[in-house]
Amino acid sequence: MHPDLGPLWTLLYVLVILCSSVSSDLAPYFISEPLSAVQKLGRPVVLHCSAKPVTARISWLHNGKRLDRNTEQIKIHRGTLTILSLNPSLSGCYQCVANNSVGAVVSGPATVSAAALGDFDSSTMHVITAEEKNTGFIGCRVPESNPKAEVRYKIRGKWLKHSTGNYIILPSGNLQVL
């Protein structure tokens, strides 16, 4: 005769259910966190965030305050936050929050800011003279900017992006000619 396996199958079924529910109720953790962004006013900004386990729900904070799911200016879909048109009130610190029945985790801050470039000082024009085989110096007052402006010079029709043998772009933005 064969033994009755009914209670054994029931126990096995309960264990499978318990194991699967335990594995899905892990504390949330991030697969990807949002990155800071600099964008022109009026342009879109997209921040991405993803977390595991699949039971984790994603929400967003702006300057420490919880964002509503969707507004006229911000759309949130599957962990992606889209600012449709950047304006000063939407600049600031964004954080992703992943939570489930076990707990919650908050991402590092992602700063969203507006790109800006101040005006060059055009009130003074300098005439620079240098004798051959002597060092020359060309001053450049770099305007305030976000992100930090990258200084380049055009020499004999070609853009100089980095220092070379005869031309040194100094950290101040000034150019030293050897």
- Cα–Cα distance, 33 to 120 (Å, whole number): 37
Of the pLDDT bands very low, low, confident and very high (cuts 50, 70, 90), residue 16 is: very low
Burial of 53-85, coded b for 16+ CB within 10 Å and e otherwise, reads: eeebebbbbbeeeebeeeeeebebeebebebee
- Cα–Cα distance, 22 to 55 (Å, whole number): 12
Collapsing DSSP to helix, strand or coil, 3 comes out as coil
- Cα–Cα distance, 42 to 88 (Å, whole number): 10
The structural domains of the chain, with segments of one domain joined by +, span 27-114, 116-178
Query: Domain 27-114 has what CATH class?
Result: mainly beta
CA 138 to chain centre: 35
Give the C-alpha distances (Å, rounded to integers) separating 126 from 61, 111, 123: 50, 39, 10
pLDDT, tens digit, 9 for 90 and up, residues 43-83: 999 999 999 999 999 999 999 999 987 899 999 998 999 99
Q: CB count, 10 Å around CB of 99?
A: 17
pTM: 0.71
pLDDT, tens digit, 9 for 90 and up, residues 122-172: 766 677 777 777 888 888 888 899 998 888 888 889 998 888 888 999 988
